[in-house]
Chains A and B, each alone.
Chain A
């Protein structure tokens, strides 16, 4: 049983790590320019299929742009969105959760109210409104998602803080004369990171999927940026005759999110069986 779980963790870590690597080293991996259009070479199939060309490994899209390059640079966007969103929402959510869990009372009531308020906000409609007001761009997507996806962080951080706060070592730190900020940063925070790491991986998967959905709807990253969601949107016109155009980004998205979820599950199991506190 343990072997079964372990492969999930490793596979997930491999997928995420691999994606991160090619995202970082995109210019080295992709030989072609993802933005270079060549209308004479539209919808070339991948190189192993009939009609494919060796210089376009995954073929080209509807505007003649090398698909492999677009995929690789698209990975950049996905990872960027994923990480930036998680960092932003994580900071906000953990801060709210820890403050509410640590102080309790009225402050906690306010935090709970904020969380409830946030949960009542429909994400897509907010994105729509924001885009209508400000226009769509990478920054807008990151900001919107980052400022909205903090609720799970807050809930988990709050509960974990409440549990840790009652433990004797926190009482001992207080008795030792430590200040409240010190206790929060050095005694509580390190001990609530485990469940938060799991939340981070899940939120990352969610952010990537949401960005893809928003871009698909035209509310996210604007063209010509190679967001996978945008690539899926652009590909839907050619879906039946040139299926690879939609399959390449579709499968990639699926594999990446699957890998992130495997990583999150594996982390959760590892932390549950490995540690006691």
Chain B
């Protein structure tokens, strides 16, 4: 069995947020004991709603944030303390907002060449040709290299961001909501591009999104996060066909598919909103769970690992 490309071991991250000038600092548990693995060639989708910690987790895996507890291994090596160039050669990001992910003062060519420049190993001509090649590969004319980001559309900027991420041929790409800010028709173009590039360059993706239909299309494995923990994980087909955790079921049920005549789904979730600063005792989902029993309010469910999947719930077993 091959070694995992990303191994996250019981990672946690705490933020101390001061509410107001005189308020008490609140402890926000953005990520709480998350473990996962990304195997080579896999696309691991991470889904969840606001406050679930998926963006924080992405930043930790990219090395942008230090975990408060636990550790992250990239390609078997510890991430904290890794030389920045070594890390850059392994893992690269594509962010959500095409407007803020490109330096507005730099030309497209300079933006895409940044990882190569940081590695410091290639000469100017080689960098130039690799950048041009990459721009073409993502569907942009190399002459676009002279433009500033403000002169490009949202879809074109996202292509530039992808070109930048792939120019050094990393092994892992962390996509944090890469198409959520794009129009539907452009979203499809970008997702198709990401799929092609993955096959061509042998990449593995960590794909974070709140859009379940997109994740179902893109991911081979899916992890569902809620208030900082992974509450269910399974291969994509099994998760969408047979969700186990009540939150996963509610999440899937809420998705409005473009199919007329089916009306609006009843989620059965109640009114309370998840607040990472006030994590409920016991099972963190119990205040909203339609099936909660007394035990759920008192005792946090253990992680049950099954043949393929994982689930944290008193009332169900993994697939």
Contact = CB atoms under 8 A, between A and B. Distances in A.
User: Is there a contact between chains A and B in the complex with CB atoms less than 8 Å apart?
Assistant: yes
B285 interface: no
Contact of B91 (A169, A175, A179, A276): A175
Contact of A177 (B59, B97, B115): B115
A247 interface: no
Interface residues of A, number: 20
Interface in A160-194: 167-169, 171-179, 182, 186-187, 190-191
Nearest to A166: B100
A185 to B, nearest CB: 12
Given A175-B62, A175-B64, A169 B118 contact: no
B64 A177 contact: no
B88 interface: yes
B95 A168 contact: yes
Q: Which of A169, A178, A186, A190 has the most CB of B within 10 A?
A: A169
Contact of A276 (B115, B150, B161): B150
A83 to B, nearest CB: 25
B28 to A, nearest CB: 17
A168 B104 contact: no
A47 B64 CA distance: 71
A187 B103 contact: yes
Interface string B98-121: 011111111000010011011100
Nearest to B96: A168
Contacts of B87: 175, 177
Residue in B64, B95, B103, B118 whose Cβ sees the most chain A Cβ within 10 Å: B103
A171 B59 CA distance: 9
Nearest to A189: B105
Instruction: Name which of A168, A178, A179, A186 has the most chain B CB atoms within 10 A of its CB.
Output: A168
B13 interface: no
A191 B105 contact: yes
A178 B118 CA distance: 5
Given A169-B100, A169-B101, A187-B103, A177 B95 contact: no
Contacts of B64: 171, 174-175
Given A168-B97, A172-B93, A172-B161, A177 B103 contact: no
B100 A177 contact: no
B65 to A, nearest CB: 10
Contacts of B115: 176-177
Nearest to B101: A168
Given A175-B91, A176-B114, A176-B164, A277 B97 contact: no
B92 interface: yes
Given A171-B101, A177-B87, 19 more contacts: A168-B95, A169-B100, A169-B103, A173-B118, A174-B64, A174-B84, A175-B87, A175-B92, A176-B88, A177-B85, A177-B88, A177-B118, A178-B117, A179-B118, A182-B118, A186-B106, A190-B103, A191-B104, A275-B104
16 contacts: A168-B100, A168-B101, A169-B100, A172-B164, A173-B114, A174-B84, A175-B63, A175-B88, A175-B91, A176-B92, A179-B84, A182-B118, A187-B103, A190-B106, A275-B104, A277-B100
Smallest CB-CB A-B distances: 9 pairs? A177-B88, A168-B101, A277-B104, A177-B118, A176-B115, A168-B95, A169-B103, A177-B85, A190-B105
